[in-house]
Amino acid sequence: MYRPIAAVAAFALLGACAPIEDAQETETAGTRALLFEEDFDAPSLYRSKWNVIGMDFWVNNEQQANLDSPDTIRFSNDVEGADGGALILRPVWKPGADTKTERQADFISGRIDSRGKFDFTHGRAEARIRMPRERGAWPAFWLLGNGQWPYTGEIDIMEYVGEPEWTAVAIHGPGYSGETPLVERRQFPAGQNAMGWHVYGVEWTDRKIAFDVDGDVFYTVTREEIERYGEWRFDTPKHLILNFAIGGVYPGKVNKIEKPYYGIPQSTVDAVKAGGVQMEVDWVRVWADRD
């Protein structure tokens, strides 16, 4: 995601951890080690695996405040098309809830990460996700290093700004951050769009980073290509992030909407107020490098 350096919020207390279960659905099962699996089958978040980010965190002129709440981070066993339970991240219209005086956002939403609880260096990360329709929604699935941005390295496996025909990927590091040249859109085939279930994945090695949707590899960047712009920062651990931003620099850049909120049209505001805008995550898995 496009992001300036920002402070990270307080983390919630730890809870119980779920065991890794079978992974026969994934093509890579049986050929490489499964390092991490989250099926979101429990009625609440496993706090031993995930942190919940709070209101102090703010980047990219996003129009929401992040809040650790059942309103913004939900779980359901009744999501159509999900294999068991699903994580639901959703923006909520809640003027007055934001405690950050310089922002005063009218929306709250959910953001979780695995920093300090799980990270990995090289391998495959993938998640099965379904998007909402609304323009200006900004769900994302990505990897971030544990140091200072952008020197720590960032791999955006999936970003969506409410344009159902495509999702995007990007790579950020020193000399290629923010408006990075290492970015690509993935157009869905005829008859598909982002509102269906799709598996978004990345293969990350010490020589290249390759992105795929439903097994279709559509963008590969080599170490040599990255080093044309700056240092390769992808031999250090990265943690997982799932978040649902709304509005901000990326949606605003694409849709050119300024009002009623930056990057958010009135139709999306109305949909959020009605409670129907959400990112659904069926599962997340991380596999060891093949080498």
pTM of the model: 0.90
Residue 241 three-state SS: strand
Q: With contact defined as beta carbons under 8 Å apart, do 40 and 283 qualify?
A: yes
pLDDT (average), residues 162-183: 97
Over residues 40-83, the pLDDT tens digits come to 999 999 999 999 999 999 999 999 999 999 999 999 999 999 99
DSSP code of residue 48: T
Query: 3 in a domain, yes or no?
Result: no
Query: 279 in a domain, yes or no?
Result: yes
Give the separation between CA 127 and CA 39, rounded to whole angstroms: 10
Give the separation between CA 169 and CA 99, rounded to whole angstroms: 32
pLDDT at residue 16 tops 70: no
pLDDT at residue 6 tops 60: no
Give the separation between CA 97 and CA 95, rounded to whole angstroms: 6
Over residues 75-109, the pLDDT tens digits come to 999 999 999 999 999 999 999 999 998 999 999 99
pLDDT at residue 1 tops 80: no
Tell which residue, 147, 194, 204, 136, has the closest CA to residue 171.
204
What is the CATH number for 245? 2.60.120.200
CB-CB neighbours of 196 under 10 Å? 13
Torsions phi, psi of 279, nearest 5?
-100, 125
Query: 24 in a domain, yes or no?
Result: no
Report the mean per-residue pLDDT for the chain. Answer: 91
In this prediction, residue 85 carries a pLDDT of 97
DSSP code of residue 176: S
Domain count, the chain: 1
Give 28's pLDDT tier (boundaries 50, 70, 90). low
Query: 4 in a domain, yes or no?
Result: no
Rg (CA), the chain: 18
Give 10's pLDDT tier (boundaries 50, 70, 90). very low
In this prediction, residue 43 carries a pLDDT of 94
In this prediction, residue 279 carries a pLDDT of 98
Query: 25 in a domain, yes or no?
Result: no
Its sign, for the CA torsion 43, 274, 67, 158, is positive
- Segments forming the whole domain that contains residue 65: 38-288
In this prediction, residue 4 carries a pLDDT of 47
Say which residues have a Cβ less than 8 Å from residue 184's Cβ, sequence separation at least 6: 168, 169, 170, 211, 218, 219
Looking only at the bridges linking them, the beta strands covering 123-130 and 279-288 are antiparallel
Q: With contact defined as beta carbons under 8 Å apart, do 108 and 67 qualify?
A: yes
Nearest-10 Cα torsion for 124, 86, 279, 233 = -20
| Residue 105 to residues 7, 8, 180, 275, Cα–Cα distance (Å) | 17, 18, 27, 17
Give 18's pLDDT tier (boundaries 50, 70, 90). very low
In this prediction, residue 207 carries a pLDDT of 98
In this prediction, residue 106 carries a pLDDT of 98
Residue type, 192: Q
pLDDT at residue 11 tops 80: no
> What tokens does 276 get?
């129907």
pLDDT at residue 21 tops 90: no
Over residues 203-236, the pLDDT tens digits come to 999 999 999 999 999 999 999 999 999 999 999 9
Query: 60 in a domain, yes or no?
Result: yes
Query: 23 in a domain, yes or no?
Result: no
Query: 241 in a domain, yes or no?
Result: yes
